[in-house]
Structure 1
Amino acid sequence: MTDPTPFLIVDDDATFTRVLSRALTRRGYAVKVARSVEEARRLLSEWVPVLATVDLKMEGASGLALIPDLRAASGEMGILVLTGYASIATAVDAIKLGATQYLPKPADADQILAALSQQEARVEAEIEAQPMSVDRLEWEHIQKVLSEHDGNISATARALGMHRRTLQRKLLKRPVRR
């Protein structure tokens, strides 16, 4: 029996990392999670993954700053940049720095593994995907700001410049698919 493939998830979204980590573990990967570029660098000093996903926009340093470190740790590592802020410019930057693939969020474990299994970077393939709707972008942004304020609705409403009751109504709605 072979050892599970080491897989690193670098993302500051606790819910996303928990769900993705669980899904990848069920598929036989040995998953470690880092919530920041700094934490990922500490992990790399003692452990080298075969595959990695890196969130582009996190608190502190951007995920792009980690790509050269991942590439230096292993020239063969599959590196996927995930972002809710997809653009051609950031996709090109990620690929130039050494990422093997780039996907817009939301992405599930199957989409991530499919992208990592591709041998060549294809920037245009990911960008052609249907962009998120304005409603979905709003929902994602609200969730991120809510998380930054530890679930405090009043603080989140102030940060978003929105009335607390309006925010509560938006939070009661189910998220749109795209």
Structure 2
Amino acid sequence: MNELLIIDDDAVFATVLARALARRGVASRHVESPAAALQSLDPAPARILLDLNLAGDSGLALLPKLKARSPMARIVVLTGFASIATAVEAVKLGATQYLAKPADADAILAAFGQQEPDPALPVAAQPMSVKRLTWEHVQRVLAEHDGNVSATARALNMHRRTLQRMLAKKPVAR
């Protein structure tokens, strides 16, 4: 089956994406929660688009379950809060590709179509800012502590509330 399963808690985004995919001849269905996602794997879709943040639940926690139940499916992780740490972890857990929102239907389909790594990707002309490097480091340490804010704050030697304020903000631009 050539269907695409969209796992995203943002119903508006999923509806718009499903329409754009339909215009390109791609059938899709949408679920909003990890439980609904696991129930919708019969029949197993060929492609799965997985949001990283599912109303507070982690898409990374769902990723191994999806791979176990549907090992041949190509999974693309999509997130509004991209970081190097989560991208690396997603690929380690079996994701085919990792995309930052906003991503259009063409970019998503291209991510599913990519079979091999692309060494011809251009290298960023400007290095990351110190603020962005700090954001990436905090995200990596947070991932190492399984999302535990208190343990992460202790590891970073900072106050928990300060870390919570940092995490509540949008990611710093590159």
1:107 corresponding residue in structure 2: 103
Hey, what's the Cα distance between the residues in 2 that align with 1:108 and 1:61?
Answer: 24
Hey, what's the Cα distance between the residues in 1 that align with 2:46 and 2:89?
Answer: 22
Letter in 2 for 1:26: R
Q: After the TM superposition, which segments of 4 or more aligned residues of structure 1 sit over 6 Å from their partners?
A: none
2:23 corresponding residue in structure 1: 26
The alpha-carbon distance between structure 1 residues 127 and 69, as it changes in their structure 2 partners (threshold 3 A), is farther
Secondary structure of the structure 2 residue equivalent to 1:79? strand
Hey, what's the Cα distance between the residues in 2 that align with 1:22 and 1:83?
Answer: 20
User: Share of identical aligned residues, percent?
Assistant: 54
- Mapping of residues 1-178 of structure 1, within 5 Å: 5-44=2-41, 46-120=42-116
1:92 Cα deviation after fit? 0.5
The alpha-carbon distance between structure 1 residues 43 and 110, as it changes in their structure 2 partners (threshold 3 A), is same
Letter in 2 for 1:14: A
Hey, what's the Cα distance between the residues in 2 that align with 1:126 and 1:51?
Answer: 27
Alpha-carbon RMSD across the aligned residues, in angstroms, is 2.7
1:77 Cα deviation after fit? 1.2
Structure 1 residues without counterparts, runs of 5 or longer: 132-178
1:127 Cα deviation after fit? 9.8
1:19 Cα deviation after fit? 0.6
The alpha-carbon distance between structure 1 residues 84 and 75, as it changes in their structure 2 partners (threshold 3 A), is same
Hey, what's the Cα distance between the residues in 2 that align with 1:72 and 1:103?
Answer: 22
1:147 corresponding residue in structure 2: none
The alpha-carbon distance between structure 1 residues 119 and 22, as it changes in their structure 2 partners (threshold 3 A), is same
1:145 corresponding residue in structure 2: none
Structure 2 residues without counterparts, runs of 5 or longer: 129-174
The alpha-carbon distance between structure 1 residues 9 and 77, as it changes in their structure 2 partners (threshold 3 A), is same
The alpha-carbon distance between structure 1 residues 37 and 120, as it changes in their structure 2 partners (threshold 3 A), is farther
**Normalised TM-score (structure 2):** 0.65
The alpha-carbon distance between structure 1 residues 31 and 53, as it changes in their structure 2 partners (threshold 3 A), is same
**Normalised TM-score (structure 1):** 0.63
Letter in 2 for 1:17: A
